[in-house]
């Protein structure tokens, strides 16, 4: 088979229209696109139902340039809505269904959605959203909801042939909202003729082999998150590669699915690594993971020791991506990382700038604000927030609030986020750096450092730690941890106090919810958390 005859080539040829799935379905309609607890779906079925949904949206007056909100668990309907939006010229906003009702309602309203697809398992927000006047179509996924059309009725009797006038759509995801309301990140659509080039680049980055017929991805995390959404759903499916969807992550269940479906690719957050490593050796040895060729992790920092342990277990197949909702970043392979433990990759010339608070370039080894180049022809903006957009961008570069440094060889090392800075006596301290040191202590299972009130310094560092089973949270343990900090950190970064807890709050993406931890210590202070 020549490249011109391959399924991947045919999919790329229709990328400008958002019709890659249609090309795969035309070539091999019976190829499986999705597996879930509800069964399986072929590319032919996915394509036909996407066409039906486009027509139903248009009947409701939702078309090119309009917004669609999708609040749904990891189900096949998630993929159908996504690929319908991509060929109907719609702006799709997947919403974190773990958010509270206020935030979900806010995002549906703020993104200017004209259609809402709502998982009935999130019924608590259904009535409030149903009253939004701009919504022209409201669909309940799962069980019926008052005021919503049932999913099983939405496609009934609708023509399922390929639509004649496809227009490529886009995605607008919302930031996690660690400070204030979540913000929509709107990136202008690049020239449609570049869509095939983008598809080819992503396929190469993720080491997919679309035409082998053997590649399969495992969607471990929630599909509203950019990592699983891109790596485990949109990129593989548009290349003709099927995906197994976990409705809820579990460490042993993940290993069982890898063996059952001969998974080749997956995405993880560091918390998943930690919990996989906690499985007893006899359980880890029980499952055949030899099919795995490529694991990529991101969304939150991963300790050096955790990543080394995963590499020792699974081999040099673990990659890391440093990026965000705002845009692309860097990627580092296992061999490069082993040579530079802790790095997230070596940026291309001109891709990254490290700037101090005054906007000056930082010297190698000196931490500052990480600015990434805005992709030419596709800059982003925070939806309806020009001030935040302007504050985050400088001379063709943008920052998502990350702090880090470039070493003398040009490798990037993140150290924290500016939103998490602890200011002690006028000195900026980045808690992730302290976390990373404490995480290497043999007694520590999980750690998060936060700034707490100090009458003299303004703030001081507190370490909040979960210990490994069998370890004692006593004064002797505190002394051991403080001695460890004294050995590995400068004095100003030492924690002034240590609390032991049973578990730390993390988001679904695995990020420590420092704001939640800090709030307990600042609740009696007149300070915005």
Spell out the domain ranges in the chain.
Answer: 3-232, 346-416, 428-522
Q: What is the pLDDT of residue 528?
A: 35
Q: What is the pLDDT of residue 529?
A: 30
Interatomic CA distance for residues 229 and 219, integer angstroms: 8
Residue 375 has pLDDT above 80, yes or no: no
User: What is the three-class DSSP state of 368?
Assistant: strand
What are 119-143's pLDDT values in tens digits? 998 888 999 999 999 999 999 999 9
Q: What is the pLDDT of residue 46?
A: 97
Partners of 498 in the beta sheet? Answer: 463
What are 149-188's pLDDT values in tens digits? 999 999 999 999 999 999 999 999 988 644 457 789 887 7
Residue 195 has pLDDT above 70, yes or no: no
Residues 6+ away with beta carbon under 8 Å from 415: 367, 403, 404, 405, 430, 432, 433
Place of tokens 């004649």: 164
Question: What fold is seen in the domain 3-232?
Answer: Rossmann fold (3.40.50)
CATH numeric code, 346-416 = 2.30.38.10
State the pLDDT confidence band at 1, using cuts at 50, 70 and 90: very low
What are 493-515's pLDDT values in tens digits? 899 999 999 999 887 667 788 88
Q: What is the pLDDT of residue 368?
A: 92
Taking only Cα atoms into account, the Rg of the chain, rounded to an integer number of angstroms, comes to 24
Enter the DSSP assignment of 127: H
Enter the DSSP assignment of 490: -
Give 34's Cβ-side CA count (13 Å radius): 25
Q: What is the pLDDT of residue 3?
A: 39
State the pLDDT confidence band at 425, using cuts at 50, 70 and 90: low
Residue spans of beta strands (DSSP E) within 410-468: 412-417, 422-424, 427-429, 444-454, 458-467
Place of tokens 């059309």: 149
The CA dihedral of 275, 278, 284, 285, to the nearest 10 degrees, is 160
Residues 6+ away with beta carbon under 8 Å from 287: 252, 255, 256, 258, 259
Question: What fold is seen in the domain 428-522?
Answer: GMP Synthetase; Chain A, domain 3 (3.30.300)
Q: 40: closest CA among 264, 216, 203?
A: 216
């Amino acid at each position: 088979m020549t490249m011109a005859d391959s399924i991947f080539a045919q999919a790329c040829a229709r990328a400008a229209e958002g019709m890659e799935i249609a090309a795969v379905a035309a070539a091999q309609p019976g190829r499986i696109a999705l597996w879930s607890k509800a069964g399986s779906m072929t590319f032919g079925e996915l394509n036909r139902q996407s066409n039906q949904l486009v027509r139903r949206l248009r009947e409701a007056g939702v078309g090119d340039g309009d917004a669609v909100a999708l609040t749904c668990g990891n189900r096949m309907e998630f993929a159908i809505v996504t690929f319908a939006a991509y060929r109907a010229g719609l702006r799709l906003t997947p919403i974190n269904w773990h958010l509270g009702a206020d935030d979900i309602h806010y995002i549906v309203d703020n993104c200017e959605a004209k259609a809402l697809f709502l998982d009935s398992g999130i019924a608590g927000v259904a009535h409030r959203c149903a009253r939004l006047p701009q919504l022209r179509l409201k669909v309940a996924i799962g069980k019926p909801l008052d005021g919503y059309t049932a999913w099983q009725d939405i496609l009934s009797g609708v023509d399922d042939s390929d639509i004649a006038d496809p227009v490529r759509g886009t995605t607008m995801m919302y930031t996690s909202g660690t400070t204030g309301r979540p913000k929509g990140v709107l990136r202008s659509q690049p020239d449609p003729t570049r869509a095939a080039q983008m598809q080819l680049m992503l396929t190469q980055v993720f080491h997919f082999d679309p035409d082998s017929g053997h590649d399969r991805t495992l969607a471990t995390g929630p599909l509203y998150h950019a990592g699983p959404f891109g790596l485990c759903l949109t990129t593989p499916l548009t290349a003709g590669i099927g995906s197994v969807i976990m409705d809820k992550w579990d460490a042993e269940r993940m290993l069982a699915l890898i063996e059952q479906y001969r998974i080749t690719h997956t995405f993880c957050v560091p918390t998943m690594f930690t919990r996989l490593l906690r499985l007893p050796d006899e359980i880890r040895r029980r499952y055949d993971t030899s099919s795995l060729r490529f694991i990529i992790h991101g969304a939150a920092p991963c300790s050096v020791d955790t990543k080394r342990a995963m590499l020792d277990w699974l081999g040099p197949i673990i990659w890391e991506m440093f990026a965000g909702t705002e845009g692309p970043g860097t990627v580092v392979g296992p061999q490069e990382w082993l040579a530079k433990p802790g790095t997230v990759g070596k940026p291309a010339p001109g891709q990254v700038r490290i700037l101090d608070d005054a906007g000056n370039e930082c010297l190698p080894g000196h931490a500052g604000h990480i600015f990434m180049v805005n992709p030419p022809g596709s800059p982003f903006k925070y939806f309806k927030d020009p001030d935040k957009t302007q504050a985050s961008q400088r001379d063709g570069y943008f920052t998502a609030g990350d702090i880090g440094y470039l070493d003398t060889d040009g490798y990037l090392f993140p150290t924290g986020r500016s939103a998490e800075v602890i200011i002690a006596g006028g000195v900026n301290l980045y808690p992730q750096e302290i976390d990373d040191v404490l995480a290497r202590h043999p007694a520590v299972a999980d750690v998060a450092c936060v700034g707490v009130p100090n009458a003299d310094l303004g703030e001081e560092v507190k370490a909040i730690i979960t210990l490994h089973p069998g370890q004692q949270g006593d004064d002797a343990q505190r002394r051991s941890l403080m001695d460890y900090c004294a050995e590995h950190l400068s004095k100003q970064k030492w924690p002034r106090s240590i609390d032991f807890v049973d578990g730390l709050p993390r988001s679904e993406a695995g990020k420590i919810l420092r704001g939640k931890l800090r709030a307990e210590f600042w609740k009696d202070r007149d300070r915005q958390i």
